[in-house]
């Protein structure tokens, strides 16, 4: 299983519309990508170590059977999904592909 993680760094001068993200963008992304998405997870940052702010205001994880499954699911809808990002944030995202070990 491979995982696409999308990290939104927690910068104070940036916007991030949590309601739009949870209620509009994520349902659209999940619907468009279909059954290739095995698991989805969204976290909203609370804090870092005690007394510090969360490194990321939001983190999203999509799990697929393979990198090829990700490509087949995501690439046909990449334009629509990427363009929708401006509707909820102006944060420069950090992207990681991982192997799910546990």
> Does residue 102 bind a copy of itself (CB under 8 A)?
yes
The rounded distance, in Å, linking the Cα atoms of 93 and 4 is 12
> Does residue 23 bind a copy of itself (CB under 8 A)?
no
Q: Distance of CA 41 to CAs 27, 51, 64, 93, Å?
A: 12, 26, 12, 16
- Report the residue number, 13 or 92, with the smaller CB distance to a copy of itself: 92
The stretch among 40-48, 73-81, 84-92 that binds a copy of itself (CB under 8 A) is 40-48
Reading the block at residue 33, the tokens are 């990508």
Positions that interact with a copy of itself (CB under 8 A):
2-3, 5, 7, 22, 26, 40-49, 54-56, 59, 94-102
């Amino acid at each position: 299983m491979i995982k696409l993680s999308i990290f939104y760094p927690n910068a104070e001068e940036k916007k991030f519309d949590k309601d739009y993200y949870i209620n509009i963008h994520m349902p659209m992304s999940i619907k468009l990508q279909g059954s290739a998405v095995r698991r989805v997870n969204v976290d909203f940052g609370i804090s870092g170590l005690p007394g510090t702010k969360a490194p990321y205001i939001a983190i999203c994880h999509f799990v697929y059977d393979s990198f090829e499954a990700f490509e087949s699911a995501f690439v046909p809808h990449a334009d629509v999904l990427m363009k929708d990002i401006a509707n909820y944030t102006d944060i420069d995202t950090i992207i990681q592909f991982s192997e799910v070990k546990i």
